[in-house]
């Protein structure tokens, strides 16, 4: 089967392309290289032995996308392409609405037109905001978005759900918790541009001496050590969840035409626990200082993954230590 992976040269996309190829799928990638490098294509070949097909297309270019769908016979789409920096989305809301929503609509329209019916979407635990109950199940209420980025994920889910009601498209939206780590080969990983905004890239760059000190945003949260808690999921496990979701659609195991699954480990770790786990896993010291809370941050989020475990037959296999070691190995290669 031939699967279109949009944003397939990015962080999560590249790991998913590897998983797809290892599982026997043929892959074609669309990416505009706005947040990735063409070298990733060759790194994928080094890992899997197969060079995936690639088209440099900006998904905002409706004509190019239309031509693409006419040219290639596609069996399914995994849609990663989009912009993902929460802070930047506050400064450039229109860029985020355009790049995350109009591209989604364009892809869905072409799928509908060309009778491509399997669609997997990258959603986020951001749709839950600060959930009232922990761990977070898929039935937890969707909260008002904290940023334009969050709004695009919330709206994206609505667009997909409505489309599946009115077409032959069947979709699964995966709500990722916090993806971290890198492939064991250290040939692909996360490439943050400029100063990292996310915790793990900042931790590894501090250990590597690129950043001087990690600022821990707040130690006055109502948690055991006062720092905020997240569910960190290894990107290799996350990639496998996409294969499980795709197989569910292909084999008609889906229960409704639009399903939502939490993808996490089910375990919450505080910022201080992550720093200590990193130091233990790598033997490297991380200088840190406590600063004020970061605006828009929630206190605690970790997933109830029982639905994904049962329905997708998927479970995270790697732990925080594995993920931190792989993130460090990736950093050492940079």
Token pair in block for residue 19: 């998983």
Alpha-carbon span 184 to 189, nearest angstrom = 9
Report in angstroms how near the CB of residue 150 gets to ligand NAD at its nearest: 10
Report in angstroms how near the CB of residue 134 gets to ligand UFG at its nearest: 14
Q: Which of 99, 206, 227, 300 binds ligand NAD (CB under 6 A)?
A: 99
Q: Which of 84, 183, 234, 325 binds ligand NAD (CB under 6 A)?
A: 84
80 lines the binding site for ligand NAD (CB under 6 A): yes
Alpha-carbon span 8 to 5, nearest angstrom = 5
What residue 228 binds from ligand NAD, ligand UFG, none (CB within 5 to 8 A, per partner kind)? ligand UFG
What residue 58 binds from ligand NAD, ligand UFG, none (CB within 5 to 8 A, per partner kind)? ligand NAD
User: Can 97 be counted among the known catalytic residues?
Assistant: no
Among 58-66, 111-119, 219-227, 302-310, the segment contacting ligand NAD (CB under 6 A): 58-66
Q: What is the DSSP string of 50-87?
A: ---EEEE--TT-HHHHHHHHHHS--SEEEE--S---HH
Tell me the residue ranges of DSSP E strands in 131-205: 170-176, 178-180
12 lines the binding site for ligand NAD (CB under 6 A): yes
Whether 233 and 245 have beta carbons less than 8 Å apart is answered as no
What residue 219 binds from ligand UFG, ligand NAD, none (CB within 5 to 8 A, per partner kind)? none
Cα distances from 98 to residues 120, 159, 164, in angstroms, run: 20, 14, 21
CA angle 140, 88, 12 (to 5 degrees): 60
Site for ligand NAD in 108-137 (CB under 6 A): 122, 124
179 lines the binding site for ligand NAD (CB under 6 A): yes
Q: Is 38 exposed, middle or buried (0-12, 13-18, 19+ CB in 10 A)?
A: exposed
Q: β-strand 76-79 against 118-124: which pairing, if any? A: parallel
Whichever of 197 and 306 has its CB closer to ligand UFG, that residue is: 197
CB within 8 Å of 281: residues ≥ 6 apart: 321, 324, 325, 328
202 lines the binding site for ligand NAD (CB under 6 A): no
Count CB neighbours of 60 within 10 A. 14
What residue 199 binds from ligand UFG, ligand NAD, none (CB within 5 to 8 A, per partner kind)? ligand UFG
230 lines the binding site for ligand NAD (CB under 6 A): no
Report in angstroms how near the CB of residue 163 gets to ligand UFG at its nearest: 23
CB within 8 Å of 76: residues ≥ 6 apart: 1, 3, 4, 116, 117, 118, 119, 120, 246, 249, 250
Whichever of 124 and 163 has its CB closer to ligand NAD, that residue is: 124
What residue 271 binds from ligand UFG, ligand NAD, none (CB within 5 to 8 A, per partner kind)? ligand UFG
Catalytic residue among 11, 25, 96, 149: 149
Residues forming the site for ligand UFG (CB under 6 A):
84, 86, 124, 126, 149-150, 178, 197-199, 202, 214-217, 228, 230, 271, 294, 297-298
Alpha-carbon span 328 to 311, nearest angstrom = 33
Whichever of 120 and 199 has its CB closer to ligand UFG, that residue is: 199
* Cα–Cα nearest to 149, from 172, 130, 123: 123
Whichever of 137 and 215 has its CB closer to ligand UFG, that residue is: 215
* Cα–Cα nearest to 297, from 217, 223, 224, 220: 217
Q: Which of 3, 4, 5, 9 binds ligand NAD (CB under 6 A)?
A: 9
- Among all residues, which ones are annotated catalytic? 149
Instruction: Enumerate binding residues for ligand NAD (CB under 6 A).
Output: 7, 9-13, 30-36, 58-60, 80-82, 84, 99, 103, 122, 124, 176, 179
């Amino acid at each position: 089967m031939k699967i279109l992976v949009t944003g397939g040269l990015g962080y999560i996309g590249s790991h998913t392309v590897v998983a797809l190829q290892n599982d026997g799928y043929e892959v074609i990638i669309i990416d505009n290289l706005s947040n990735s490098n063409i070298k990733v294509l060759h790194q994928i070949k080094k890992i899997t032995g197969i060079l995936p097909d690639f088209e440099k297309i900006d998904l905002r270019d409706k004509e190019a996308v239309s031509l693409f769908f006419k040219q290639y016979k596609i069996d399914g789409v995994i849609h990663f392409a989009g912009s993902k920096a929460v802070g930047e989305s506050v400064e450039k809301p229109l860029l985020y609405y355009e790049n995350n929503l109009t591209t989604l609509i364009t892809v869905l329209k072409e799928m509908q037109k060309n009778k491509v019916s399997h669609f997997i979407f990258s959603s986020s635990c951001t749709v839950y905001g600060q959930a009232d109950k922990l761990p977070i199940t898929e039935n937890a209420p969707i909260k008002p978005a904290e940023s334009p980025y969050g709004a695009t994920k919330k709206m994206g889910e609505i667009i997909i759900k409505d489309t599946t009601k009115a077409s032959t498209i069947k979709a699964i939206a995966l709500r990722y918790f916090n993806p971290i780590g890198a492939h064991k080969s250290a040939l692909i990983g996360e490439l943050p541009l400029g100063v990292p905004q996310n915790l793990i890239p900042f931790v590894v760059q501090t250990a590597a001496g690129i950043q001087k000190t990690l600022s821990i945003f707040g130690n006055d949260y109502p948690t055991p050590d006062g720092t905020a808690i997240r569910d960190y999921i290894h990107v290799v496990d996350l990639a496998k969840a996409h294969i499980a979701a795709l197989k569910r659609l292909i084999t008609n195991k889906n229960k409704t035409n639009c399903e939502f699954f939490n993808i996490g480990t089910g375990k919450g770790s505080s910022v201080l626990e992550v720093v200590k786990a990193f130091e233990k896993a790598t033997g490297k010291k991380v200088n840190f200082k406590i600063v004020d809370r970061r605006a828009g941050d929630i206190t605690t989020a970790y997933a109830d993954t029982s639905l994904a475990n049962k329905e997708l037959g998927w479970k995270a296999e790697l732990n925080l230590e594995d993920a931190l070691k792989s993130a460090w190995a990736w950093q050492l290669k940079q």
